[in-house]
Structure 1
Amino acid sequence: MTAVLRSRRLRAAAVATGAAVLVTRALRRRVKDSPLWPMPALEQPISGIGRTRTGHRELLVVERAEEAEGVVRLRLEGESLPGWEPGAHIDLVLPSGAVRQYSLCGDPADTGTYTVAIRLVEDGRGGSREVHEQLQEGTVVAVRGPRNRFRLAESHAYLFIAGGIGITPILPMLRQAEREGVPWRLLYGGRSRASMPFLAEIEKLAGADGDRVTVVAEDEDGRPDPAAALADAPPHSAVYCCGPQPLMDAVAGLLPDGLELHTEAFAPVAAGAGAAGGAFEVELRRTGRTVTVAEDRSILRALREQALPDLPYSCEQGFCGTCRQHVVEGDIDHRDELLTDAERDEQMLICVSRCHGERLVLDL
């Protein structure tokens, strides 16, 4: 009830002062002017908080809390939000125009809000700092999605392995497994207990059977031992791992026969703009131009440099989807971590994906 009243007060204050309109207009200006993503300005929804014509939704930050050291939790409210399942993530379109992906870690049954938790990465690309410094209670933020490439498959038992902020997609999975009565175990590692988000809720989920959860704080116990956790997993268990790449590599290398591994990375493993690959040509069907993509250039960079300087983009790492294009002809060398198998037949992310062969034709 307190959260509902708080949300109503925030919304009422925004409407009474015109703050929602001002923030939305400011967001539109900054996104439009951003050198990172010169996309069309967002449309103004009737209420100031809702769906936009560009496929984004403008949500209100109704709660901001420090979930752990360096981790901020945001609860975003909106109307008629699409449903989601454990493992799903949303795209936050930040005030600068940058797009970042964050796992949903709330309750799928709550159809009026989305919850995300973001760790501040001091040496990152700036997205997490922007979230921490600019997304306060009462802020309006544009959201895309949700999408899910880390779904919880049916299984007779689960082993979850999480490192640090990698707990965010795992947490809703724990809740679902517990609700459905499916046996589960969790290995959860972090730098320190104070830095590990949702630790209290996880230990509460474990209940009397505290052995289901193994918490390893590096400053107390050293690094977690995935080998022991995997060895104890029942045969044919589903193993879900999210965390730093070295942790996921270790789990993959130690996986016993009979266990099914599912992973999700913080950052894409796709090859970047300078990835190995021969040169090829890209024909732009609608403009009638042909661009040569050199070995050391991405399609995105080649098109912006030679033909379409205003072509939208954001992450340049194959996971946000801003540069998605329709392919008319050609054999696509997919290197992204976003598109579904069905989408890959006719679409590609031109910031990382390339061509098997000498020629692609894009609907541009």
Structure 2
Amino acid sequence: MTDLDLVVADKQTAADGVALLTLRRADGGELPAWEPGAHVDLVLGADLVRQYSLCGDPADRSGWQVAVLREQSGRGGSAHVHDVLAVGDTVAARGPRNHFPLLPSASYVFVAGGIGITPILPMLAAAQAAGADWRLVYGGRTRGSMAFTELAERYPGRVEIRPQDETGLLDLAGIIGAAADRPVYCCGPEGLLGAVEKECAERGLAVHLERFTPKDGVLDGPRDAFEVELAGTGEVITVPADRSVLDVLEDAGVEVLSSCQEGTCGTCETGVLAGVPEHRDSLLTDEEQEAGDTMMICVSRSRSPRLVLDL
């Protein structure tokens, strides 16, 4: 995937600790099309690539908007955006890609926690434009830390703003219980996602999630050595128990795009032509994992002695 060199056209404070960036092409040309739920990789440095959900208007091909939360215990990406990146700077971008699409429905329930509101924003506009019946419950630590709270005025009667210091924790049992048969879309911290997933499973409701961090325990488990065969060349490479497929391929000079190295972004998704992958990502659905025809090579391993990869 070719990098796009984009210029930071605008940088604003969207909430306490949240920076809103507008990115445009230097030549003023159109950016690639995208749909609600999509994210892009921003290449902030040689070894600093981070994923951010697009939160603007998909119909506006002149610019992309991303909102970045300053992570106090982060790995440097958000600090770079907040403290270093300035209007006029150039940043490389990859994508967009979408593992969190909004599927057609007559009605929806949206649940957002903190910065998890970002992929939900364009979904609300799309649901409204389609004439769907929908509801958003948006929680955060404090009102000042919550970006885009003007949604309540934009969509009166459909949006509930729930700062924890004012209203307590979200009543997920009540929210999900009232969903009836409506699909639930949720993005936010892992505690929220896990709780929503559990509530939906108990009620047999369809749930669609996007994670910023790995599922609890998903990266655990035994690690055995196995082989990978590259379909394009026939080369066979051994993956030791203490290394990832991605690491071994990079050492062998095989160029594979990667980013999060946690199984959450989808950048390194690779086709599987033979063998049975052991999925340790936090991105593919249960059905996609069961199909076994693709895997995230940054974290996933193999249940069979050999995997044949579409590389």
**TM-score interval w.r.t. the shorter chain?**
0.7 to 0.9
Alignment-derived partner of residue 360 in structure 1: 307
Alignment-derived partner of residue 318 in structure 1: 263
2:7 aligned counterpart, secondary structure:
strand
CA shift in 2, pair 1:146/1:240, >3 Å: same
Rounded to whole Å, the distance in 2 between the matches of 1:242 and 1:285 is 36
What's the CA shift for 1:243?
A: 0.7
Which has the higher mean CA deviation after the structures are superposed, 60-69 or 320-329? 320-329
- Whose helix fraction is larger, Structure 1's or Structure 2's? 1
Rounded to whole Å, the distance in 1 between the matches of 2:128 and 2:49 is 33
Alignment-derived partner of residue 199 in structure 2: 254
CA contact (8 A) 1:275 1:296 kept: no
CA shift in 2, pair 1:319/1:260, >3 Å: closer
Of all paired residues, the percent bearing the same amino acid is 48
Rounded to whole Å, the distance in 2 between the matches of 1:292 and 1:317 is 21
Alignment-derived partner of residue 280 in structure 1: 226
CA contact (8 A) 1:276 1:296 kept: no
What's the CA shift for 1:253?
A: 1.8
Match of 2:12 among 65, 74, 79: 65
Alignment-derived partner of residue 104 in structure 1: 54
Q: Deviations over 1:30-79 (max 9, x none)?
A: xxxxxxxxxxxxxxxxxxxxxxxx51111111010000000000011122
> 1:266 and 2:216 equivalent?
no
Q: Deviations over 1:99-128 (max 9, x none)?
A: 211111101111111100010001011111
TM-score by length of 2: 0.85
> 1:295 and 2:241 equivalent?
yes
Number of residue pairs matched by the alignment: 303
CA shift in 2, pair 1:147/1:232, >3 Å: same
> 1:331 and 2:280 equivalent?
no
Within-5 A mapping of 1:213-252:
213-233=159-179, 235-252=180-197
1:188 aligned counterpart, secondary structure:
strand
What's the CA shift for 1:308?
A: 4.8
Match of 1:176 among 110, 126, 130: 126
Q: Deviations over 1:279-306 (max 9, x none)?
A: 213356778865433333322334556x
For structure 2, the residue ranges without an aligned partner over 5 or more in a row are none
Within-5 A mapping of 1:119-268:
119-200=69-150, 202-207=151-156, 209=157, 212-233=158-179, 235-255=180-200, 257=203, 259-268=205-214
Rounded to whole Å, the distance in 1 between the matches of 2:245 and 2:276 is 14
CA contact (8 A) 1:335 1:354 kept: yes
Rounded to whole Å, the distance in 2 between the matches of 1:133 and 1:353 is 34
- Whose strand fraction is larger, Structure 1's or Structure 2's? 2
Aligned-CA RMSD value: 2.9
Rounded to whole Å, the distance in 2 between the matches of 1:219 and 1:337 is 30
Rounded to whole Å, the distance in 1 between the matches of 2:267 and 2:110 is 31
Rounded to whole Å, the distance in 2 between the matches of 1:346 and 1:184 is 34
1:199 aligned counterpart, secondary structure:
coil
Which has the higher mean CA deviation after the structures are superposed, 319-328 or 217-226? 319-328
2:45 aligned counterpart, secondary structure:
coil
CA shift in 2, pair 1:252/1:173, >3 Å: same
TM-score by length of 1: 0.74
> 1:94 and 2:41 equivalent?
no
The residue type paired with residue 105 of structure 1 is: C
Rounded to whole Å, the distance in 1 between the matches of 2:122 and 2:191 is 23
Rounded to whole Å, the distance in 2 between the matches of 1:154 and 1:119 is 30
Rounded to whole Å, the distance in 1 between the matches of 2:114 and 2:185 is 14
> 1:82 and 2:32 equivalent?
yes
Q: Deviations over 1:114-152 (max 9, x none)?
A: 100010001011111111122211111111111111111
